[in-house]
Amino acid sequence: MQASTTSTTPVVLTAKALLLDMDGTIVNSDAVVERCWRDWARAHGLDPHEAMKVVHGRQGYATMALLLPDRPMELNHADNAVMLARETADTEGVEPVEGAPEFMAALGALPHALVTSADDALATARMAAADLPMPEVKVTAECVGASKPDPEGFLKGAAELGVDPADCVVFEDSAAGIAAGRAAGMRVIGVGPRAAAHGPTLHVEDLTSVRVAPDPSGSIRLTVHTSTA
């Protein structure tokens, strides 16, 4: 398979607000996620490799429901609380996605929100471990009744920023997150290797391929060097 490269002709988008997923998009937490979820999968007699195909992007209870469809949901919620506590305490290997510090600095006071399947404690721990600024507006697990791929989180983020969904651009890395952004009626920039296969509007290898600046119209101007096969 030919390796991905970066195109020489950038794509320019304008948006009124950016909605950012956290894990895999601006924070690389794969090491922790794999440690915790592989242990959980083995403890429940599941193939860890197969489990890892569905854990990204969803709240933990929703992942558990997919992997153990006949299991009572209250057990999933109980296990999810334990999982969140373990993940919050484990920040070994958590680091910013390449280009994320510059990307977040460029956003500055421009309208943006974090929309993550992590709860507030986990989001706070991982953003701090990656040394990234926490957006003023954040939609965490406690704020929604449905996990991605449901669009509720992104729609809530847009509403809190006072921006129409069609004027938002989502940054996501997972199948569930990309589906949620598209279901919300938003354009989606897929970030990293997981994103390319799931139909984002544009795809980049990491955030070094995105430039953010205020547009004279009052919008946000995104210059995106897309990855091509």
Active site residues: 21, 23
H or E segment and range at residue 222 = strand 220-224
Q: Strand 210-214 vs strand 220-224: parallel, antiparallel, or unpaired?
A: antiparallel
CB 196 within 8 A of CB 175: no
Tally Cβ neighbours within 10 Å of residue 62. Answer: 22
Give every strand in the sheet of 210-214, ordered side by side: 11-15, 220-224, 210-214
Q: Is 19 helix (H, G, I), strand (E, B) or coil?
A: strand
